Amino acid sequence: MSSDLSFACTCGTITGTLLNVGPDQGDHVICHCTDCQDLTHYLGHAARVLDAHGGTPLYQSRCARMKIRSGRDQLACVHLTDKPTLRWYAACCRTPLFNSYRNGRIPYITTQLAACDPAARDRLTGAPRGHLFTADAIGDTSALPKMSMGTLMRRFFPRMVRDMLSGDRRRCELFDPDTLEPIAAPHRLTAEERQGLRRD
């Protein structure tokens, strides 16, 4: 059975595939941090993406395993805060798609599972390894299995090293292979835009 997982924005302009998806190939996590929550409000997809505890299902994997099939020119990206995380979305319908580092130097790609084939995503990614930033979550999260960023970083580190040693760092669809700069100019939210967050 194929271990490839297709994704698409809600209007279907951007389509593509995550290759070689599996519980040991990447990490399926649920992130409750305020930035992930804010992102879905900013893009107008909170009701569709967030779970009852404000969690965003994510799959972090190696940077060159994501292939765009169509709509590449509709990819847009935004920095919600001064932090280096770059949030990629579809300009056509504002579907959140990926998170990455601000450039391709630290290679990883984190895919929004809400944009992935619902019939296959849980089977391929496995059960979530845990919930990140539950202190920011909505409601009672005492029953949720927690995961620390340190644990995720330890799992991410060997993938990062492989991406660097194999040359995959220069094969990520989101970054220019030569400069490792993002293929779309990032927008950084203004103070006014930040204040307007959470009003869906």
**What is the three-class DSSP state of 146?**
strand
SS (H, E, C) 23-90: CCCCEEEEECCHHHHHHHHHHCCHHHHCCCCCCEEEEEECCCCEEEEECHHHEEEEECCCCCCEEEEE
Question: Least distance (Å) from Zn ion to the CB of residue 44?
Answer: 12
Scanning 25-33, 116-124, 148-156, 174-182 for contacts with Zn ion by CB under 5 A, the matching segment is 25-33
Q: Pick from 33, 64, 78, 124: which binds Zn ion (CB under 5 A)? A: 33
> Is residue 197 a contact residue for Zn ion (CB under 5 A)?
no
Question: Least distance (Å) from Zn ion to the CB of residue 84?
Answer: 13
Residues near Zn ion (CB under 5 A), total = 9
Q: Which is nearer to Zn ion, 102 or 162 (CB)?
A: 102
> Is residue 11 a contact residue for Zn ion (CB under 5 A)?
yes
User: Which 120-149 residues touch Zn ion, going by CB under 5 A?
Assistant: none
Of the candidates 43, 59, 32, the residue with the CA atom closest to the CA atom of residue 116: 59
Question: Least distance (Å) from Zn ion to the CB of residue 1?
Answer: 28
What is the 8-class DSSP label of residue 175?
B
Q: Which is nearer to Zn ion, 82 or 178 (CB)?
A: 82
Q: Rounded to an integer, what distance in angstroms lies between the CA atom of residue 194 and that of residue 5?
A: 33
Question: Least distance (Å) from Zn ion to the CB of residue 196?
Answer: 19
> Is residue 36 a contact residue for Zn ion (CB under 5 A)?
yes
Q: Which residues contact 108 (CB under 8 A, 6 or more apart)?
A: 60, 61, 62, 63, 100, 101, 156, 159, 160, 163
Q: Pick from 5, 31, 43, 78: which binds Zn ion (CB under 5 A)? A: 31
Q: Pick from 63, 66, 80, 90: which binds Zn ion (CB under 5 A)? A: 90
> Is residue 116 a contact residue for Zn ion (CB under 5 A)?
no
Number of Cβ atoms within 10 Å of the Cβ of 188: 11
Per the CB < 8 A criterion, the answer to whether 53 and 136 are in contact is no
Question: Least distance (Å) from Zn ion to the CB of residue 83?
Answer: 10
> Is residue 85 a contact residue for Zn ion (CB under 5 A)?
no
Residues that bind Zn ion in the complex, under the rule CB under 5 A: 9, 11, 13, 31, 33, 36, 90, 92-93
